[in-house]
Amino acid sequence: MTISEKSAYIKGLMDGLNLDTEKAEGKLISALVELMGDVTKKLSDVEDTTIAISDELDEIEEDLDAIEDYILESEDDDYYDDEDDFDDFDDDDYEDEGFDYGDEDSTIYEVKCACGNVIAFDEDTLEEGSIVCDECGETLEFTFDDEDEDEE
């Protein structure tokens, strides 16, 4: 039985008792039953509002999940497409593996192999024209456009 049904039942019991509402006891019971009816109506309104807010929050959560999935998918696809993405590259990882960078003033280049391995190399390797991936053994070749060399 819901609160509204219980409140209506108690009001019915009071009416069935034929209480004299002119006497103090009857006035008190009548006022309490009336108060209980008002509280029941307010509680019902609060429950309806809570359900509506909960539904709205569920929709917002679904929208945010969809946005998050879209952003994460987009970041995964474009992670290595831009040279700026390599700014966070940690050179210490390669020093630990025995890679010698040589002169501090030399430029270090990085390339991502199809297998996902990031390879760091210097200008001498770039001039050689290729490098072999130590993860998968694929040879990565470098070509130069004459226009690019003229601009440098």
Q: Looking at the structure, do residues 73 and 92 belong to the same domain, yes or no?
A: no
Q: Which of 58, 78, 98 is a domain's end point?
A: 78
* Phi, psi of 110, deg, nearest 5: -135, 145
Q: Looking at the structure, do residues 89 and 74 belong to the same domain, yes or no?
A: no
4 neighbors 38 (Cβ within 8 angstroms) = no
What is the structure's pLDDT at 123? 82
What is the structure's pLDDT at 48? 93
What is the structure's pLDDT at 96? 46
- Profile the chain (152 residues) by mean pLDDT over runs of 10 residues: 88 87 89 93 94 96 93 70 53 50 67 88 82 88 63 46
Q: Looking at the structure, do residues 47 and 97 belong to the same domain, yes or no?
A: no
**Rounded distance, CA 9 to CA 105, Å?**
90
Helix or strand run (H / E) with residue 119? strand 118-121
112 neighbors 118 (Cβ within 8 angstroms) = yes
What is the structure's pLDDT at 64? 95
Angle formed by the axes of helices 3-16 and 24-78, nearest 10°? 170
What is the structure's pLDDT at 73? 84
What is the structure's pLDDT at 62? 95
Q: Looking at the structure, do residues 7 and 70 belong to the same domain, yes or no?
A: yes
The count of other CB atoms within 10 Å of the CB of residue 86 is 14
Q: Looking at the structure, do residues 70 and 117 belong to the same domain, yes or no?
A: no
* The model scores a pTM over 0.75: no
Q: Looking at the structure, do residues 92 and 54 belong to the same domain, yes or no?
A: no
What is the structure's pLDDT at 92? 54
What is the structure's pLDDT at 47? 93
What is the structure's pLDDT at 124? 81
**Rounded distance, CA 80 to CA 114, Å?**
11
> How far, CA to CA in Å, does 107 sit from each of 58, 112, 123?
52, 17, 6
Q: How many domains does the chain have?
A: 2
> How far, CA to CA in Å, does 122 sit from each of 17, 55, 82, 99, 115?
99, 58, 20, 10, 21
What is the structure's pLDDT at 98? 47
- Residue found under tokens 């070749």: 141
The boundaries of the domain holding residue 9 are: 3-78
Q: Looking at the structure, do residues 42 and 92 belong to the same domain, yes or no?
A: no
The count of other CB atoms within 10 Å of the CB of residue 7 is 19
What is the structure's pLDDT at 37? 92
What is the structure's pLDDT at 142? 78
Enter the tokens of residue 53.
């807010």
What is the structure's pLDDT at 87? 54
Q: Looking at the structure, do residues 41 and 107 belong to the same domain, yes or no?
A: no
What is the number of residues in the chain? 152
